[in-house]
Amino acid sequence: MRRQLTKSRKLPPSPKAWFTAGMKVAFQGVPGAYSELAAHDYFKKQKFDIVPCPEFQDVFIAVTKGKADWGVVPVENSLTGSIHQNFDLLLENRLSIRGELKLRISHSLLALPGASLKTIKHVYSHPQALWQCKKYISSIKGAKPVDYFDTAGSAKHVSELGDLTIAAVASKTAAAHYGLKELKAGIENNKKNFTRFFVLSKTKSKKIPRNPKTSIAFDLKSVPGALHKAIGVFADLKIQLFKVESRPIPGRPWEYIFYLDFAGDVTSKATQEALKALKPLTSKLSILGSYAESD
């Protein structure tokens, strides 16, 4: 990923930045994680302290409890699909989606100085990153992929192990963080590899963002053609749908919660009409947030 440091972005006001020493941004992983790169891209020149969290749910807890002003979580990768855990956590927690960012993901093969492609026997990384670099990894003679809990974390792990037979798949930034060298850059199967992140806060946006998008979640009452009717609400009002995602409802096997992303702010007339028409079809409807569409 090449960060465009010159591009400016109008920032939403931080709910706590005026009162505390500095803005704090929580993300899952260790320093050098893609989520941290996404936070820097989103908040541009604004300075912030990082709050690295062990698990995704800790990001939601940190923001809910005020330990961080913002949380940045990945929700979807253009090659491997949605990160469902974060959809579930969006519904379990009461945070608002305040922004989105699409980050070009470029993976590098990192190892200790002194290592080479010939010494590598194991490649550690998050399963999704290993999957995204499957072709390249299988081309390294005698090397096997090994699941690790996250990407930058696998770079940290390699650095700590001090073993020349182990490599990690992570960002170039992670190499600098953990004193590793880049054996090979851009090892992803497909260069059109983007991850979409949500930027979360405890408060809702007070003004209408530019190119607004809204995310909602709802279940469907068990009536014939319910999904067709629900999707039809948006088609009838000529509201553009960006994404439909279904997730299981725990305790109700083979029933689903639908996540919808569509064009428009939640306060707009069209969105209000759509939500009004949708309500009779669902037993639970949640507005997850309105935010500016990412480039």
Residues 67 and 24: beta-carbon distance below 8 Å? yes
78 binds a second copy (CB under 8 A): yes
Q: Which of 47, 250, 269, 280 binds a second copy (CB under 8 A)?
A: 250
How many whole angstroms separate alpha carbon 87 and alpha carbon 129?
20
251 binds a second copy (CB under 8 A): yes
Instruction: Verify whether residue 197 is a known catalytic residue.
Output: yes
Q: Which of 17, 91, 117, 244 binds a second copy (CB under 8 A)?
A: 244
Of 216, 244, 234, nearest in space to 273 by CA: 234
Taking the complex as a whole, the smallest distance from the CB of residue 207 to a second copy amounts, in Å, to 26
248 binds a second copy (CB under 8 A): yes
Helix axes 56-64, 84-92, angle to 10 degrees: 30
Q: Which of 30, 115 has the CB closer to a second copy?
A: 30
Give the range of 17-25, 60-68, 81-89, 163-171 binding a second copy by CB under 8 A: 81-89
Report residue 97: phi and psi, to 5°. Answer: -75, 120
219 binds a second copy (CB under 8 A): no
How many whole angstroms separate alpha carbon 97 and alpha carbon 9?
17
Q: Which of 81, 116, 118, 161 binds a second copy (CB under 8 A)?
A: 81
- Contact set for a second copy, span 221-240 (CB under 8 A): 224-225, 227-229, 231-232, 234-235, 238, 240
Which residue among 173, 195, 214, 271 is the active-site one?
Answer: 195
How many whole angstroms separate alpha carbon 203 and alpha carbon 6?
29
Instruction: Verify whether residue 64 is a known catalytic residue.
Output: no
Q: Which x/- pattern over 103-132 shows residues binding a second copy (rule: CB under 8 A)?
A: ------------------------x---x-
247 binds a second copy (CB under 8 A): yes
92 binds a second copy (CB under 8 A): no
The residues annotated with a catalytic role in the active site are: 195, 197
Binding residues for a second copy (CB under 8 A): 76-81, 84-85, 102, 127, 131, 147-149, 189-190, 192, 194, 196, 224-225, 227-229, 231-232, 234-235, 238, 240-248, 250-254, 256
